[in-house]
Structure 1
Amino acid sequence: MSVNLLIVSVGITTVDQLRSNQSRRLIAGPLCHVTKQRPQREAELLDGGSVYWIIKGHIAARQKVVELERLFDHEGEKCGVILDSELIETELFSRGPHQGWRYLEEEDSPRDLRDLVEEAENDDDTEGELSEEMAAELKSLGLL
């Protein structure tokens, strides 16, 4: 069973902005998010885990973790989380800020937006659809 990491995307206000920043960084090589601590649950993370990005108080996107690298600088050892280049939007989940990263269990992870769209297209009973923002607001109020 896999586990995910939950990381706040500092200074980013939209998924499109994150995608744009990362596309510029891809020119230099693989995407690498540097953290101070190496995840203890490395095997679970590398078994299909993802980084879920918190943007403006909501989990909004994810990227598969490809590998973990040992990095060194003047402060000592760090961990480089190498990410897949595909940024997958998720349903919005309200989530407060925190420092560093946190584990996010697979069963607590938001679903991919593309899966939700596919479900809605296959559901004949769908009358109207909620926007992402409306769904997130209703979830934060405990109504969904």
Structure 2
Amino acid sequence: MALHLIKLSVGTESIEDLERWRDRVFGKGQPTSHVTRMFPKRRDEILDGGSIYWVIKRVVQVRQRVLDLEEITDSAGVKRCRIVLEPELIRTNPAPKRPFQGWRYLKPEDAPGDLSVAAGGENLPEDLRRKLLELGAW
């Protein structure tokens, strides 16, 4: 069973902001990556269909499927982990999350589900979605 990662998307204001950054840095439709200091020890479980869940403004809002975990060395000679990600951002059911540092493992049973198109949530404006979450109506 796939294991996931969860990470704060620091400096990101919205899903649309993350999309714009992704397209500007990597190119529209291209695989993206995120470099982090620690390499996950449970690599095989993550690569078995896992995703990285992004926390934006204290709410888990979107995920990207993990394609690979690569060990790299930065310009200072320090080993790092490059998390290679599918370009598609999949909106999730909003889930509040307190701040934390680095990434954490996220068990499948603890991961928020994908936002259902049938529920109409995918087409809501970001500010309305956030307000509904704050009101506890989601």
Structure 1 gap segments, 5+ residues each: 122-130
**In 2: Cα distance, 1:136 partner to 1:40 partner:** 36
How much does 1:26 deviate?
1.8
Aligned residue type for 1:15: I
- State the secondary structure of the residue aligned to 1:33: strand
Number of matched residues? Answer: 128
- Cα RMSD (Å): 2.0
**TM-score, normalised by the number of residues in structure 2:** 0.85
Structure 2 gap segments, 5+ residues each: 121-127
Aligned residue type for 1:110: P
- State the secondary structure of the residue aligned to 1:11: coil
1:5-29 CA distance string (max 9 Å, x none): 0000000010000011001122396
Kindly indicate whether the alpha-carbon contact (under 8 Å) linking 1:58 and 1:93 is maintained by their aligned counterparts in 2. yes
**In 2: Cα distance, 1:39 partner to 1:48 partner:** 15
How much does 1:132 deviate?
3.3
**In 2: Cα distance, 1:136 partner to 1:50 partner:** 26
How much does 1:70 deviate?
1.0
> Are 2:66 and 1:69 aligned?
no
How many percent of aligned residue pairs carry the same amino acid? 38
- Rg larger in 1 or in 2? 1
Select the structure that is richer in helix: 1
